Amino acid sequence: MKEPVARPFIEIVAAIREQQTVVANLLELYAHDFSGFYDVDLGPDGRFGYASLPLYWTDPNRHPFLIWVDRKLAGFALVKRGSEVTGNQNVWDLVEFFMARGFRRRGIGTSVAHELWRRHPGTWEVRVLEANVAAFPFWSRAIALFTGKPVPSIRLEKVGDSWSVFSFETA
């Protein structure tokens, strides 16, 4: 008989200013993943960088999170009030979301997304760069599981990029 698989212990913790370097390091892994399907340039220092990262500790509408699984650093999420794609200032925008490879395909990312949506009730936009083919089914499924029904996306173009944008309400 198979042993039951223990559910991982997931913590989503607001990142403090002193953890900005940790988030920046994770953003490098995230950008490296993106560079496989999107034109992301390395800077002369050998880093991709993320110019708006410091704003997450000065702008009250931005919220940085670190994700821990079984007390191991597993990823990050950046959430902000106001959409960078549609311009709607009354929505929550899941700006960036990253799970390290060893934590993917285990339901952890879905659990984290659901908890973030519960923590920030209201209208949400989750946008997926169309070049990020693997992300679309993940977000479509995660949102449908959360809302209890499929949520269609709309296609938008912004500054030469094509996006699929999901919009939904949380209680």
Domain residue spans in the chain?
Answer: 10-170
| Portion of the chain with pLDDT greater than 70, in percent | 97
103 Rama sector, left if φ>0, alpha if ψ -120 to 50, beta otherwise? alpha
The per-residue pLDDT for 53 is 97
- Structure pTM? 0.92
Tokens of 110: 């879905």
Segment 41-46 long-range contacts (CB within 8 Å, at least 24 positions apart)? none
Give residue 95's pLDDT band: very low, low, confident or very high (50, 70, 90).
very high
Q: What is the mean pLDDT of residues 66-89?
A: 95
pLDDT tens for each residue of 36-60: 888 888 899 999 999 999 999 999 9
10-170 CATH pick, 3.40.190.10, 3.30.70.270, 1.10.1060.10, 3.40.630.30: 3.40.630.30
Q: What is the rounded distance in angstroms from the CA atom of residue 66 to the CA atom of residue 112?
A: 10
The per-residue pLDDT for 83 is 92
